[in-house]
């Protein structure tokens, strides 16, 4: 049963009309208690001698639980439910993002400069030299968030319309954390050829492309083809953003436990988009002993040299139809478990198969591969993707800084060196003296994260020759504030 935590996503505010008699509200409170709903605020909207109208806020476990509670309240004599609102849906009313002008159009003179005829001179300058688009338009600070709605969060193939609120949220993170203008591009096709052609067609208006919530294995082909075809950065965040944060968290976890990357044995369970990218990133960082598992068992194993040689296409090293053992076989003597799969597949006995000072990253959402209350006493370090536990591995720690750094130098690509630099900078955001079992990765609200990651990514882009601009503009000029 899902617990009701301090940040419940199922909070209802219900407006009731009650008979104004002693003990009437106590009956409502009793129903909430019987149903296990957490009573919050009670605000009286109006009252007369005959009736009282309060707004009652309470948390429930799920939508179904909320409907059950409302049915019980409606069944009470002398109680009428006037309205019921869900704060999540209220927050999304009308969408969460909008476009705003940087220059107020208050006079005819301003209008003639920002639009015709004055804008024509700027268009001619860009026609003579396309690189001027980075100077005189928002291209250099704009990201297209492209999805086909085939893998929305952990909810599955919901389609482009259902993906839109998620992409709007992603755009908010780009803006709030890194000052980047991003826009959702939700495509009504799941054909790789059509997706590639569409993104190529719209690319002139953007400085980078963030592929999002596109199902595996199509996401690999789409990213590869777009990276080849376009001269702007393309990154599938579900793969690489997650992998960067995992590497940063593991780097600090190894510091806490006194282990070394080249010595440890790592088990990755779930070789979809994120799992495969995680394997590639860890091998690039020097990992020597890796086992990859799917639901039917071990499908990827080998020494570091062998796997590193095929890390650009790990599928060539996989044996999907011939598992080489079970997940439990893989865990024997392993130092690290990284779960990018489904919840509640591990037991305490499974964890006890691992080496001492074991590190467990259980990132299935909303339920980790092993519950925290069970794992806490059976591993040295425990991390999840949840915000209500310590050590949240959240790709929002990576993508804002990665794209900020790439845009700052007008990079043509986001390459392996840039991602490794991002992971190193993210790990080093926490001073060594501050590291602990419950603090191996910084918060998404840590103001140091994006600048550190962006600086490291920009430097790596210059060093690897993918940067067009050697010296970035000042933040004020770049963001149009100067």
Residue 130 falls in the annotated catalytic set? no
Please write the tens of the pLDDT for every residue from 284-293. Answer: 999 999 999 9
Average pLDDT over residues 241-260: 97
From 389, 367, 374, 373, select the one nearest 438 (Cα to Cα).
389
**Catalytic member of 96, 115, 130, 447:** 115
Beta bridge partners of 181: 142
Beta bridge partners of 185: 146
CB-count exposure of residue 186 (10 Å: 0-12, 13-18, 19+): buried
Beta bridge partners of 392: 384
Q: Are 416 and 385 in contact (CB under 8 A)?
A: no
Average pLDDT over residues 358-363: 95
Specify the CATH superfamily of domain 244-482. Answer: NAD(P)-binding Rossmann-like Domain (3.40.50.720)
Beta bridge partners of 292: 268, 300
Please determine whether the domains at 11-92 and 108-232 fall in the same fold group of CATH. no
Residue 455 falls in the annotated catalytic set? no
Average pLDDT over residues 221-225: 96
CB-count exposure of residue 216 (10 Å: 0-12, 13-18, 19+): middle
Average pLDDT over residues 163-174: 96
Residue 9 has pLDDT above 80, yes or no: no
Residue 5 has pLDDT above 60, yes or no: no
Residues whose CB falls within 8 Å of the CB of residue 398, separated by 6 or more in sequence, listed in order: 237, 240, 241, 242, 244, 245, 248, 422, 423, 426, 453
Backbone φ and ψ of 44, nearest 5°: -80, 120
Q: Residue 17: which pLDDT band, with cuts at 50, 70 and 90?
A: very high
Please identify, in words, the CATH class of the domain defined by 11-92: alpha beta
Neighbours of 404 (CB within 10 A): 27
Q: Is the peptide bond before 217 cis (omega within 30 degrees of 0)?
A: yes
**Residue 4: its pLDDT value, please?**
46
Furthest-apart CA atoms within the chain: distance in Å: 82
**Residue 472: its pLDDT value, please?**
52
Percent of the chain surpassing pLDDT 90 = 77
Average pLDDT over residues 385-401: 91
Q: What is the pTM of this model?
A: 0.87
Q: Residue 475: which pLDDT band, with cuts at 50, 70 and 90?
A: very low
Distance, in Å, from the CA atom of 87 to the CA atom of 84, rounded to the nearest integer, reads 10
Please write the tens of the pLDDT for every residue from 140-165. Answer: 999 999 999 999 987 889 999 999 99
Distance, in Å, from the CA atom of 18 to the CA atom of 42, rounded to the nearest integer, reads 13
Average pLDDT over residues 6-30: 86
Domain boundaries, the chain: 11-92, 108-232, 244-482
Residue 93 has pLDDT above 90, yes or no: no
**Residue 476: its pLDDT value, please?**
43
**Residue 481: its pLDDT value, please?**
46
**Residue 479: its pLDDT value, please?**
47
> Does domain 108-232 bear CATH number 3.40.50.10380?
yes
H or E element, residue 97: none
3-state SS, residue 90: helix
Average pLDDT over residues 46-60: 91
**Catalytic member of 10, 134, 139, 170:** 170
Q: CA angle, 88 as apex, 82 and 91 as ends, to 5°?
A: 95
Q: Classify the phi-psi angles of 142: left when phi > 0, otherwise alpha if psi is within -120 to 50, otherwise beta.
A: beta
Range with the poorest average pLDDT among 3-12, 35-44, 133-142: 3-12
From 401, 447, 445, 446, select the one nearest 423 (Cα to Cα).
401
- For tokens 């990651």, the residue is 453
Please write the tens of the pLDDT for every residue from 323-339. Answer: 889 999 999 999 999 99
Q: Residue 105: which pLDDT band, with cuts at 50, 70 and 90?
A: very high
**Residue 195: its pLDDT value, please?**
98
To the nearest 5 percent, what fractions of the chain are helix, strand and coil? 45, 20, 35
Q: Residue 471: which pLDDT band, with cuts at 50, 70 and 90?
A: low
Distance, in Å, from the CA atom of 441 to the CA atom of 257, rounded to the nearest integer, reads 15
Q: Structure tokens of 445?
A: 């609200």
**Residue 8: its pLDDT value, please?**
60
**Residue 353: its pLDDT value, please?**
96
Q: Structure tokens of 369?
A: 């591969």
**Residue 111: its pLDDT value, please?**
94
Mean pLDDT of the chain, nearest integer:
91
Highest mean pLDDT among 91-105, 196-210, 370-384: 196-210
Average pLDDT over residues 215-222: 91
**Residue 474: its pLDDT value, please?**
42
Distance, in Å, from the CA atom of 149 to the CA atom of 160, rounded to the nearest integer, reads 4
Handedness of CA 370, 245, 179, 168 (dihedral sign): negative
| DSSP structure string for 284-343 | HTT--EEEEEETTEEEEEEEHHHHHHTGGGGGGG--TTS--S-HHHHHTT-SEEEE-S-S
Q: CA angle, 458 as apex, 132 and 216 as ends, to 5°?
A: 95
Residue 75 has pLDDT above 90, yes or no: yes
């Amino acid at each position: 049963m899902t617990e009701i935590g301090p940040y419940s996503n199922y909070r209802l505010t219900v407006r009731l009309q009650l008979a104004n008699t002693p003990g009437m509200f106590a009956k409502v409170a009793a129903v909430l208690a019987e149903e296990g709903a957490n009573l919050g605020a009670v605000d009286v909207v109006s009252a007369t001698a005959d009736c009282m109208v309060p707004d009652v806020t309470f948390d429930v476990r799920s939508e179904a639980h909320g409907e059950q509670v409302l049915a019980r309240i409606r069944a009470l004599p002398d109680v009428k439910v006037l309205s019921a609102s869900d704060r999540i849906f209220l927050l999304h009313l009308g969408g969460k993002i909008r476009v705003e002008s940087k220059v107020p159009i208050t006079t005819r003179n301003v209008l003639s400069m920002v639009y015709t005829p004055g804008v024509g001179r700027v268009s001619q300058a860009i026609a003579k030299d396309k690189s001027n688009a980075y100077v005189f338009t928002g291209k250099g600070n704009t990201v297209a968030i492209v999805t086909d709605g085939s893998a929305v969060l952990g909810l599955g193939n919901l389609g482009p319309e259902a993906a839109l609120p998620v992409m709007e949220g992603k755009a908010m993170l780009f803006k709030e954390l890194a000052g980047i203008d991003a826009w959702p591009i939700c495509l009504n096709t799941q054909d790789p050829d059509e997706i590639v052609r569409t993104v190529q067609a719209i690319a002139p208006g953007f400085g980078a492309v963030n592929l999002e919530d596109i199902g595996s294995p199509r996401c690999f082909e789409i990213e590869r083809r777009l990276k080849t075809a376009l001269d702007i950065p393309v990154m599938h965040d579900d793969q690489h953003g997650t992998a960067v944060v995992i590497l940063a968290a593991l780097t600090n976890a190894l510091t806490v436990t006194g282990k070394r990357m080249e010595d440890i044995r790592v088990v990755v369970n779930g070789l979809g988009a994120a799992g495969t990218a995680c394997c590639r990133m860890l091998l690039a960082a020097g990992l020597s002993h890796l086992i990859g598992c799917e639901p039917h068992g071990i499908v990827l194993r080998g020494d570091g040299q062998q796997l590193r040689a095929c890390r650009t296409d790990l599928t060539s090293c996989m044996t999907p139809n011939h598992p080489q053992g079970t997940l439990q076989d893989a865990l024997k003597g392993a130092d690290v478990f990284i779960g990018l799969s489904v919840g509640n597949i591990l037991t305490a006995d499974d964890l006890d198969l691992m080496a001492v000072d074991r590190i467990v990253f259980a990132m299935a959402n909303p339920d980790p591969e092993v519950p925290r209350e069970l794992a806490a006493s059976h591993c040295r370090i425990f991390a999840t993707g949840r915000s209500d536990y310590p050590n949240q591995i959240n790709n929002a720690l990576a993508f804002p800084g990665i794209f900020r750094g790439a845009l700052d130098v007008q990079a043509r690509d986001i390459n392996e060196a840039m991602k490794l630099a991002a992971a190193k900078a993210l790990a080093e955001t926490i001073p060594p003296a501050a590291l602990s079992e419950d603090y191996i990765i910084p918060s998404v609200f840590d103001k140091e994260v994006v600048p550190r990651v962006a600086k490291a990514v920009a430097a790596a882009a210059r060093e690897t020759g993918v940067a067009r601009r050697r010296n970035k503009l000042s933040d004020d000029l770049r963001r149009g504030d100067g």
